[in-house]
Amino acid sequence: MATDNSTWSPSPHVTQDSHNHGAQPAKAMKPRRHVGDILWKALVWGVMGFFLLNVVLLIATVAVNSVATRWFGTPLPQGFTLHWYAQTWVDFQLASVLLTTMEVVGAVVVLSIVLGVPAAYALARVQFRGKRFAMLVFLLPLMVPPVTYGIPMATVMYKFGLAGTLVGVIMANLVPALPFVILVMTPFIEQIDPNLESAARIFGANTFKYFRYVLLPLLMPGMLAAGLLVLVRTIGMFELTFFTAGPGTQTLVVALYYAVFSTGVRAPQSIDAMAMIYMAITLIWVLVALQFVSPTQLVSRVKEQR
């Protein structure tokens, strides 16, 4: 019986077909970018770019006009000067306004930290009936527009003689600042191990020593973050300050509003110079805050212990 020892080899047509069939699934698995996705991304980036371009042009217009001698009907001003900044400093009494702003902001930051940290500690450590309702009451000034409670609050302050005073302005700005500190500090305190307090008690530390040597160093990052954010927020707080401030207790943002809408003829360059001063002060503090505070690290929700 003869045996065929020759090696079988597939025909070229079979080999070519098998390679073609094997290449088709790989080709089909390649992702394809649809035209609709590309158009959608282009639209989103176009809208964002158009918005940012308008903001930059508006700021540039104000900045250029604040140092312009005369700018009318030409692409650029006829000349440049810093005279408007000096005139604005005198006409709007910016030295007194900035001093008042510093007093209001400093008092609000200190009082909100002093009152808000113990309240946040109690909410983070103590479990009691109605805790959710208490948190809702604390955070209510942050969830509703300031005008909603600003007008009734100003009416009560005028009735008791607090409106128009520095104390009244500080109290008005403290209403949204205190819940903001509680909102920021509560998650920081919840992340601290409660066993540290027990260990400090075992080693003989009283409440003051525990707070001074154990709890305070752990709370400093959160207190710094809350203080800087309250500072930036208070500088830009317009509604509550406007409702309760008097002629001698105006902060910079309220003084800028009166400079724009009050009666009298004023050069637009001087108003733009005042706006640039306000913008520069706010931007400086925002940059300082961002050096110490990362917005992505702020926890905005209070975790309930179970």
Residue 200 vs residues 195, 209, 266: alpha-carbon distances, Å: 9, 9, 64
- Supply the angle between the helices 166-190 and 146-160 in degrees, to the nearest 10: 130
pLDDT of residue 112: 94
Rounded average pLDDT over 257-280: 82
pLDDT of residue 125: 82
Q: Is 83:273 a contact under the CB 8 Å cutoff?
A: no
DSSP code string of the chain: -----PPP---HHHHHHHHHHHHHHHHHHS----HHHHHHHHHHHHHHHHHHHHHHHHHHHHHHHTTBS--SSSSS-S-B-SHHHHHHHHHTTHHHHHHHHHHHHHHHHHHHHHHHHHHHHHHHH---TTHHHHHHHHHHHHHS-HHHHHHHHHHHHHHHT-TTSHHHHHHHHHHHHHHHHHHHHHHHHHTS-THHHHHHHHTT--HHHHIIIIIHHHHHHHHHHHHHHHHHHHHT--HHHHHH--TTS--HHHHHHHHHHSSS---HHHHHHHHHHHHHHHHHHHHHHHHH--GGG---SPPPP-
The residue that leads in pLDDT, 203 or 281, is 281
pLDDT of residue 83: 86
Write down all domains in the chain, each with its CATH number in brackets: 38-81 (no CATH), 85-297 (1.10.3720.10)
Residue 194 has pLDDT above 80, yes or no: no
**How far is the C-alpha of 114 from the C-alpha of 185, rounded, in Å?**
12
pLDDT of residue 303: 42
pLDDT of residue 47: 93
Amino acid letter at 260? V
Rounded average pLDDT over 128-139: 82
- pLDDT grade, residue 103 (50/70/90)? very high
**How far is the C-alpha of 44 from the C-alpha of 25, rounded, in Å?**
34
**How far is the C-alpha of 244 from the C-alpha of 171, rounded, in Å?**
9
Chain position carrying tokens 């975790």: 303
The mean predicted confidence, pLDDT, of the chain is: 80
The residue that leads in pLDDT, 305 or 92, is 92
pLDDT of residue 49: 94
pLDDT in tens, 48-73: 999 999 989 988 888 898 888 888 77
pLDDT in tens, 2-44: 444 444 444 444 444 444 444 455 444 445 557 778 888 889 9
pLDDT of residue 201: 77
CB-facing half-sphere around the CA of 275: CA atoms within 13 A:
20
Residue 174 has pLDDT above 90, yes or no: yes
Residue 295 has pLDDT above 70, yes or no: no
CB-facing half-sphere around the CA of 203: CA atoms within 13 A:
9
**How far is the C-alpha of 156 from the C-alpha of 168, rounded, in Å?**
11
- pLDDT grade, residue 212 (50/70/90)? confident
Amino acid letter at 36? G
pLDDT of residue 32: 55
The residue that leads in pLDDT, 293 or 86, is 86
The residue that leads in pLDDT, 264 or 95, is 95
